[in-house]
């Protein structure tokens, strides 16, 4: 595999020890923008998401089924090498690989990399300007540094779950979405470290806690508590300032649109589109605060209108009148949306034994720059010969010996 020379990260090589979803999402963004990302696994300890899939009928798929969407979504465009780190020779190969790499990323618990002789101090001896990133639930310092956490634990700890859900209801986890936020945070942190190294020549270690990334979504709630002693609670789809601001049902089964009114002009325009001049004249709705106080009655009025409307026609009319509105999509709707297709929001990835799957293009269109490259997700150990032969320079006979002895395994 050759790196795309026109892509912004084509000069970067990453050794990837990540697992599950959050951290692999960070490295797949690097890969799509040209970095050569080498995922390190073994047959004894593969990425657990290779085993987490369902077939077309919804039944659990057999272990190693290539159609596992979870794995494919965050591991496409990477190379994959299987090295049995319990064997000293395999640990030596990993160290050789790190010597010719720029970034090392892991999502293990504290101390795992150190036990393999791959802690950051070890990495720095191998390459002084190396960048290390460790993604964990609670960080590598503090009383909870050894506690295990996945997305659901992190969202609960961050306070996000306490703000999610309907008024008076129980906390609602947003684990999947917050895993993605952690991945984006890790990606940004690596870019900052690469920029720092380009300016100073210095490598860095980044200790990234999932919980702290996710706390970044509740800054106003923390400030509000500090200033006013107010503890925010779930509000459903409503806003704490704006009204009407909600997700409303349209004609048909489980069809929805979202409306958010932010100004007097938008409020007046909404009343015109709904054919409700009486609402526009009602003194109870004369300003934003009055509408917020009467938000339940307003929601009932808007809902009565949207239930009679085709979603797409209603969105067109509202947007034409200057009212912020958008369809509330299902995944099926997203895949069929003409606007997204015209912007090239999807990338087709063809994998052996699977066929063509649709992946999301990385967000952001940059003038004059390719929009990334998208290659199949690798099979377990698919690039053993490429990594060990072409990158590390081992002769074919030596690669075969290491495979027989399950060093490369």
Q: For 255-295, what is each residue's pLDDT tens digit?
A: 999 999 999 999 999 999 999 999 999 999 999 999 999 99
Answer whether residue 52 shows pLDDT above 90: no
With residue 318 as reference, give the H or E element that holds it: helix 311-320
Answer whether residue 1 shows pLDDT above 50: no
* Residues 97 and 140 reside in one and the same domain: yes
pLDDT at 167: 85
- 55 or 209: whose pLDDT is higher? 209
CATH number at residue 298: 3.30.1540.10
Among 154-158, 310-314, 382-386, whose mean pLDDT is lowest? 154-158
pLDDT at 65: 63
* Residues 48 and 156 reside in one and the same domain: yes
Flag whether 5 is in a domain.
no
Among 117-126, 144-153, 187-196, whose mean pLDDT is lowest? 144-153
* Residues 293 and 375 reside in one and the same domain: no
Flag whether 254 is in a domain.
yes
187/139 Cα distance (integer angstroms): 16
* Residues 110 and 160 reside in one and the same domain: yes
Answer whether residue 113 shows pLDDT above 90: yes
Tens digits of residue pLDDT in 4-36: 467 899 999 999 999 999 999 999 999 999 999
Flag whether 333 is in a domain.
no
Give CA angle at 278 (272, 282), nearest 5°.
Answer: 115
Answer whether residue 127 shows pLDDT above 80: yes
117/177 Cα distance (integer angstroms): 34
* Residues 75 and 127 reside in one and the same domain: yes
Task: Report how many domains make up the chain.
Answer: 2
By residue range, what is the domain housing residue 188? 13-217+343-404
Last residue of a domain, one of 328, 359, 387: 328
3-state secondary structure of 402: helix
Q: Output the CA–CA distances (angstroms, integers) from residue 198 to 9, 99, 205, in the order listed.
A: 13, 18, 15
């Amino acid at each position: 595999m050759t790196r795309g020379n026109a892509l912004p990260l084509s000069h970067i090589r990453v050794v990837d020890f990540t697992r599950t979803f959050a951290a692999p999402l960070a490295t797949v963004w690097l890969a799509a923008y040209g970095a050569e990302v080498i995922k390190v696994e073994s047959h004894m300890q593969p990425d657990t998401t290779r085993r987490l899939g369902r077939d077309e009928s919804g039944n659990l798929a057999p272990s190693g089924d290539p159609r596992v969407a979870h794995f494919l979504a965050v591991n496409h465009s990477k190379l994959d090498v299987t090295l049995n780190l319990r064997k000293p020779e395999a640990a030596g190969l990993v160290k050789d690989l790190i010597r010719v790499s720029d970034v090392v990323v892991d999502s293990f618990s504290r101390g795992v990399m150190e036990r393999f002789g791959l802690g950051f101090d070890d990495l720095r001896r191998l390459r002084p300007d190396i960048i290390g990133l460790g993604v964990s639930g609670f960080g590598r310092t503090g009383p909870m540094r050894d506690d295990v956490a996945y997305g659901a634990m992190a969202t609960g700890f961050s306070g996000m779950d306490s703000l999610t859900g309907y008024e008076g209801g129980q906390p609602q986890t947003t684990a999947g979405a917050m895993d993605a936020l952690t991945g984006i945070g890790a990606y940004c942190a690596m870019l900052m470290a690469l920029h720092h190294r380009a300016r100073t020549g210095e490598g860095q270690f980044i200790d990234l806690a999932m919980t702290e990334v996710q706390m970044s979504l509740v800054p106003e709630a923390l400030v509000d508590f500090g200033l006013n002693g107010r503890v925010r609670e779930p509000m459903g789809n409503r806003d704490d300032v704006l009204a009407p601001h909600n997700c409303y049902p349209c004609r048909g089964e489980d069809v929805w649109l979202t409306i958010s009114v932010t100004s007097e002009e938008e409020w007046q325009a909404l009343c015109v589109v709904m054919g409700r001049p009486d609402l526009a004249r009602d003194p109870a709705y004369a300003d934003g605060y009055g509408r917020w106080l009467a938000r339940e009655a307003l929601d009932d009025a808007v809902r009565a209108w949207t239930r009679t409307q085709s979603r797409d026609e209603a969105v067109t009319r509202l947007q034409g009148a200057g009212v912020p509105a958008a369809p509330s999509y299902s995944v099926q709707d997203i895949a069929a949306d003409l606007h997204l297709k015209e912007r090239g929001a999807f990338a087709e990835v063809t994998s052996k034994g699977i066929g063509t799957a649709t992946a999301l293009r990385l967000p952001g269109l940059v003038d004059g720059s390719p929009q990334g490259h998208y290659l199949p997700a690798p099979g377990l150990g698919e690039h053993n010969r490429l990594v060990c032969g072409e990158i590390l320079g081992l002769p074919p006979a030596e690669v075969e010996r290491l495979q027989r002895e399950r060093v490369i395994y």
